Amino acid sequence: MANYYTDNSELKFHLNHPLMEKIVRLKERNFLFRKEFSFAPIDYEDAIDNYSLILEIVGEICGDIIAPNAESIDNEGPHISNGHVVYANGTKENIKALNQAGLMGMSLPYKYGGLNFAIVPYIMAADIVSRADAGFVNIWGLQDCAETINEFASEEQKERFLPRVSAGETMAMDLTEPDAGSDLQAVQLRATWDEDKKTWFLNGVKRFITNGDGEIALVLARSEPGTKDGRGLSMFIYDKHKGGVTVRRIEHKMGIIGSPTCELVFKDAPAELVGSRKMGLIKYVMALMNGARLGIAAQSVGIGEAAYREALNYAKERMQFGKSIINFPAIYEMLSVMKAKLDASRTLLYETARFVDIYKTYQHISEERQLEKNEREEMKQYQHLADIYTPLAKGMSSEFANQLAYDAVQIHGGSGFMKDYPVERIYRDARITSIYEGTTQLQVVAAIRGVTTGAYLNQIRVYEECEVSPQMEYLKRSLIILTDDYDRAVNKVTSAGDNEFIDFHARRLVEMAGHIIMGYLLLLDSNREELFLRSAKNYIAFARVQVKAHAEFIDASELNDLHTYKYDLQETVI
Amino acid sequence: MRAYKIIVLAKQVPDTRNVGKDAMKADGTVNRAVLPAIFNPEDLNALEQALRIKDQNKGTTVKILTMGPDRAADVIREGLFRGADDGILLTDRAFAGSDTLATSYAIAQALKKMDKIDLIIAGRQAIDGDTAQVGPQVAEKLELLQVTYVEEIKELKGDTIVLKRRLDHGVEIVKCQLPLVITVNGTAAECRARNAKLLMQYKHAKTFTELQKEGGNYTSMYKNRPDLSISEWTVNDIETDPAQLGLTGSPTKVKNIENVVLQAKDSKVISSADAEIENMMVELIKSHTIC
């Protein structure tokens, strides 16, 4: 009878953000969709009510089915039979329940059988499902790939594939290969055009493919023989019903065990080109990855939620020295900082989702009609924000998810190390979040532009302009001081005029920006809802220490110091 | 494969599973105002069985029939959200105060007004009365076969159905012919969740009475959306004998109410021999359960 949406009032708060009215209005084309689709919402209140009621369905299925299945799925895992994946029994049950409830293809347009969900409520569903089972969310969340088809495939392709996603077929994105992980330019899988059959055929191997046996897959392959870099790669759709791909192996993983991570063998697998040749990596994968990164940020927040709740319950129930351990400062501080990090990563997640929502919706509208000048400008503005916020959200929230899982095990003491409590699984599941869809180090590479171009600082100044109640002014003053520290550190690092020096400090600088941004977002949340004040105070106190520490380090750092960190591979002893 | 016409009997009940201290009034009756009204849990199990038949047999229709006050239209909306095709709210002051006998009479008379029905599926019992009588009484009044305590529909081919019953002494597999009344146990499969798209489609479905009461912003919408109107039947829509309706038609009288804590589940098995049935009657009269 648990409901993972209604038992979490923070979610409803983020769903009702003031910017949502604009998002919904754009997404529903000023409520004109109603003319064509009778079930489309009538007005803003109607749409938000739909979101909320549908998230209640998600919450119910998560509480009643997905969360109770998580343990058995973790034990059983998927296996291969005749070159194809067989999911764990619990996984099959989860998929069936979500399908029956019509929760696939949530963000796809009505005309393809979707619910035309904005990104914010869709990401909220991912947040909720992740709390229930972080491994399962991968299989469900790969419906994200449909968005890439919706953006770049032909109308005819959309009409063939998208309704299948809405009807519940699962997806995969086949990018990684044994020698092409973070460096996707090295992708080798061959795509050859057969003039007689008028079809592309794929040959080669893909590795570490999540839900690799999904019904519809997006495949990155080399369509231009003789090329070596990203410019020779194109994007293809592979339809499992056509055959040609077998699963050779399912990886044995530390966590997210229910999510099958596959090694795939392509043998003359027929496929269709998406969009233009040679744009596979340069354009489409970038879009695909940005969507996926936001999904991992949601997964991280959901894991953090699960970790925090387990720790909180245990700390209340566990008696030592004659009292609940939550009464000890060492424990309650840990819990409150966990909660602050959780609320911080969640508010950053939804801020990012709103930016993505606005720019993506404008992008779709621009295919229907020419945008007005102010609309074009707004689209650009939000796209820039989405571009710098997505890696920030993914990087920060996945690191926090790991910290929360670590602390949750710690609070359980010896029991947390045993398989008797869910934290043991949560700890293992959390670990991947800061690795896949680009490691934290690669998120920093994507985010550092936001530092060097001053884009983060500009947005911080926008937050600074917002009014807060007098009792919170002192928190704002703290953030203004930290912003000065950040600004000084950025100037110090960039004025050295050396790219390696920037790379060396990049993570510190990105984190400083992240802490300040999350501090502001929590402050603004508190201004709307007092519930967040506790987390705002605790987070800003935590952020101050982090930002100051990084500022100190950078202040004392010189270009010449780098050699004390570097390795020389020629030297045998280090 | 063929298309079946299925009626699900459902009741709106106070949620007696989440009882607070105000749940009973001083006079010993249920304080309906403080208890949330819900879809009777075992009726949801019944609905799931109907929807499974619909999933597997194209063209099958599932209609909800409920009797109750205006707000019982919630039960029909809930059914629509989960996959029912439509519903009828049987509502009239003349039905007020009905016990199981008067309820089953009204429901049976409503069912007689409908086209040929293949299956009537009801929950075993409602959590507010726990009588388990309405389903069987409806079957008797319509002179239909009945199978009670059903946990699973094992097979349905043409007019032959195979059912698994969950009984105190074990399970029983029975085969019989349609048309048929089934009552479903809470041990049967849980009802599926609401469907997102159906929810969006039927969220604004209303009875005529509700529409008149609420007015609201969306009135123009109803003109073009016949799917949004929930049928209401009053006593005038069915053929009835007033003497068998409502309080007049209800021999059940509440003598007094006691708070009891159930210690164990106890049941007594009685065979169909006349002597045993007579003994039971004598015992019930002695304990003033019936008079």
Give chain B positions within 8 Å (CB) of A61.
193
φ, ψ of residue A187 to 5 degrees: the values are -55, 135
Question: Which residues in A lie closer than 8 A to residue B221 (C-beta atoms)?
Answer: 42
Confidence of residue B269 (pLDDT cuts 50, 70, 90): confident
Q: Give the E-state strand segments of A60-182 in sequence order.
A: 79-81, 84-86, 171-174
| Residue of B128 and A198 predicted with greater confidence | A198
Give the per-residue pLDDT at B234. Answer: 95
Residue B19 has pLDDT above 90, yes or no: no
| Pick from A280, A142, A113: nearest CA to A215 | A142
Kindly calculate the radius of gyration of chain B based on its CA atoms and give it in whole angstroms: 20
Please check whether residue B135 is in contact with residue B65, taking contact to mean a CB–CB distance below 8 angstroms. no
CB atoms within 10 A of CB A313: 13
Distance, CA of A489 to CA of A485 (rounded, Å): 6
Residue in chain B closest to A59 (alpha carbons) equals B193
pLDDT per residue as tens digits for the range B62-72: 999 999 999 99
N-term to C-term CA, chain B: 49
> Is B283 domain-assigned?
no
How many beta carbons lie within 10 A of that of residue A225, not counting itself? 9
Whether A101 and B221 lie within 8 Å, measured CB to CB: no
Min distance A279 CA to chain B CA atoms (Å): 35
Residues B199, A57: C-beta atoms closer than 8 Å: yes
Looking at A231-245, A525-539, B75-89, B202-216, which range is the least confident one? B202-216
Per residue in A111-141, pLDDT (tens digit) is 999 999 999 999 999 999 999 999 999 999 9
Q: Identify residues of B whose CB sits under 8 angstroms from chain A CBs.
A: 190, 192-201, 203, 217-218, 221, 224-225, 227
* Architecture label for domain A440-559: Up-down Bundle (1.20)
Please indicate whether, in this complex, the C-beta atoms of B194 and A50 are within 8 angstroms of each other. Answer: no
Give kind and range of the element (H or E) at residue B121: strand B119-123
Return the H-helix or E-strand segment holding B6. Answer: strand B5-9
Task: Match 């607070």 to its residue by tokens.
Answer: B20
Q: How many CB pairs under 8 A join A and B?
A: 50
pLDDT of the residue at A217:
97
pLDDT at site A573: 62
Is residue B189, in this structure, part of any structural domain at all? yes
* Most A-contacting residue of B82, B199, B204, B220 (CB-CB within 10 A), to test interface: B199
How many other C-beta atoms can be found within 10 angstroms of the C-beta atom of residue A68?
15
pTM above 0.95, yes or no: no
Q: Report, as residue numbers or ranges, the catalytic residues of A.
A: 437
pLDDT at B280 over 80: yes
Q: Is residue B264 in some structural domain?
A: no
Q: Is the pLDDT of residue A574 over 60?
A: no
Distance from CA of B17 to the nearest CA of A (A): 12
What's the confidence (pLDDT) of residue A328?
98
**Enclosing H/E stretch for A336:** helix A329-368
Judged against a pLDDT cut of 70, whether residue A280 lies above it is answered with yes
pLDDT 10s digits, A350-367: 999 999 999 999 999 999
Convert the pLDDT of each residue in A136-173 to its tens digit: 999 999 998 999 999 999 999 999 999 999 999 999 99
Cα(A512)–Cα(A487) distance, integer angstroms: 10
Query: HSE-up of A496 (CA within 13 Å, CB side)?
Result: 21
Closest-CA residue of chain A to B51:
A100
Q: Please state which architecture CATH assigns to domain A9-166+282-434.
A: Up-down Bundle (1.20)
- Subunit contact B192:A38, Cβ cutoff 8 A: no
From chain A residues 22-61, the ones with a CB under 8 A of any chain B CB are 38-43, 49-50, 53-54, 57, 60-61
| Closest CA relative to residue B95, chosen from B64, B72, B76, B124 | B72
**pLDDT over 90 at B248, yes or no:** no
Q: A363 vs chain B: nearest CA distance in angstroms? A: 25
Residue B185 belongs to some domain of the structure? yes
Looking at chain A, the whole-number percentage of residues with pLDDT higher than 90 is 95
Residue ranges per domain, chain A?
A: 9-166+282-434, 171-278, 440-559
Candidates A225, A232, A239, A230; CA nearest to A174 is A239
Strand partners, A27: none
Write out pLDDT tens, residues A55-98.
Answer: 999 999 999 999 999 999 999 999 999 999 999 999 999 999 99
B150 located within any domain: yes
Looking from the CA of B73 toward its CB, the CA atoms found within 13 Å total: 19
**Which string of DSSP letters, residue by residue, matches A409-451?**
HHHHTHHHHSTTSHHHHHHHHHGGGGTSSS-HHHHHHHHHHHH
Contact B193 A60 (CB under 8 A): yes
Overall domain count for chain B: 1
Amino acid (one-letter) located at B9: L
Residue identified by tokens 């009510």 is A49
Query: B86 lies in which domain range?
Result: 5-251
* Average pLDDT of chain A to the nearest whole number: 96
Mean pLDDT of B152-173: 95
Q: Each residue of A322-381: pLDDT tens digit?
A: 999 999 999 999 999 999 999 999 999 999 999 999 999 999 999 999 999 999 999 999
pLDDT for residue B216 is more than 70: no
Q: Which residues of B touch A38 (CB under 8 A)?
A: 201, 224-225, 227
The CATH number assigned to the domain holding B16 equals 3.40.50.620
Q: Say what the pLDDT of residue B252 is.
A: 84
**Residue B225 belongs to some domain of the structure:** yes
A102 has a chain B CB within 8 A of its CB: yes
Mean pLDDT, residues B224-248 taken together: 90
Q: Domain A171-278 has what CATH class?
A: mainly beta
CB-CB under 8 Å, B193 with A57: yes
How far apart are alpha carbons A433 and A125 in whole angstroms? 18
The reply to whether residue B200 touches residue A57, judged by beta carbons under 8 angstroms, is: no
